[in-house]
Structure 1
């Protein structure tokens, strides 16, 4: 399965945010998007999901033009930057809501076992983000959009989430962005860089160093 987005034109207050963007993501690969603050990474994911309407866009799945917002297809799951889960919902109820297995989760994240009947408001910011990311990755949707999945996560949790992403990519399209650029670089099979409203396919780390985005002699994990 191949997802493509291009011919995007998006402006806010007469300032062009996106123009001439092309991104291709496909199952079997993790596709990462990097760019400085304000480059339009979150806007691009919102356009893909269908919650933000640009002036122009072209979205295709396996070459077929998609006219309706992707979220209406019930085939896409989106982790936004902002809080996803209600403060009042019980943790176990989240698993029922997303139709994700609780027992499998606590096999990997044992720390959560005694928290089953707690509300998400009792979690730390990192714990909540871990929970949200795990639920999105384990839905039955075939397209996964992740915006800042590693935000506030402890290093051990980052490693475990990256392992899950690597497993899930075999059967899903996974498109993600994060300000933890080293995690995106190490995880992505395809990498795009947004600058001045346009996208550039990154062939190697030197490209990002030449753009002044990564420090010289950046060591990839």
Structure 2
């Protein structure tokens, strides 16, 4: 069976006549992690919401395997991790897990330390970092074949981030994952392909040094790997 393919093309979005997105093209297939980078206000979160179907655009073309989709969240085709917390505060984590996690991933998810530590607590009893970890892990282990992660490393320590990158990679074998975060080094570590949003347009990065060329990073920011 051929891999699932998500295609996003010709997205146009403006707020108060200010163009946010105007020349966007993404094509990604099952097994890939796509890293989406850009400066604050470049439209990364807006693009994810457009793909998911909760942000109306002036124009968009979003398709799965060549079939246009208007609302990506219908039938659990696409799952989205927003920047804000989304789990209800008063329902036990174990019950939320049964509702959100795909049975294919059940054994691997329930073996995660973060789950075992907090399974019988509610989201309201967790710290911001603990809650962010669980929400991100629930989304990537969900039934959806396409996963959109908006700032998943927020409030998560570098050690924890390094622990979760292999989990993201493992889940990506069955899914398409598009991930954006202001911690660009985490995106570079975990992604198969990197796309930069610059002046409303997508720039497909073939070498990390292009992030300097396009002005996203300064030359002395980091020593980029090829």
TM-score by length of 1: 0.92
Task: Evaluate the alpha carbon distance shift between residue 102 and residue 88 of structure 1 in structure 2; reply closer, same or farther with a 3 A threshold.
Answer: farther
Query: What RMSD over aligned residues (CA atoms) do the two structures have, in Å?
Result: 1.8
Task: Evaluate the alpha carbon distance shift between residue 11 and residue 124 of structure 1 in structure 2; reply closer, same or farther with a 3 A threshold.
Answer: same
Deviation for aligned residue 1:102: 6.7
Q: Distance in 2 between matches of 1:92 and 1:168?
A: 20
Deviation for aligned residue 1:169: 1.1
Aligned residues: 219
Indicate if the aligned counterparts of 1:92 and 1:102 stay in contact, CA closer than 8 A.
no
Q: Distance in 2 between matches of 1:167 and 1:119?
A: 27
Do structure 1's residue 163 and structure 2's residue 166 form an aligned pair?
Answer: yes
Q: Give unmatched runs, 5+ long, in structure 2.
A: none
Indicate if the aligned counterparts of 1:182 and 1:220 stay in contact, CA closer than 8 A.
no
Q: Give unmatched runs, 5+ long, in structure 1.
A: none
Select the residue among 189, 193, 209 that pairs with 2:192: 189
Deviation for aligned residue 1:24: 1.5
Q: Distance in 2 between matches of 1:119 and 1:84?
A: 13
Task: Evaluate the alpha carbon distance shift between residue 62 and residue 194 of structure 1 in structure 2; reply closer, same or farther with a 3 A threshold.
Answer: same
Q: Distance in 2 between matches of 1:197 and 1:212?
A: 14
Select the residue among 7, 11, 15 that pairs with 1:8: 11
In structure 1, the partner of 2:26 is 23
The more displaced of 26-35 and 85-94 is 85-94
TM-score by length of 2: 0.90
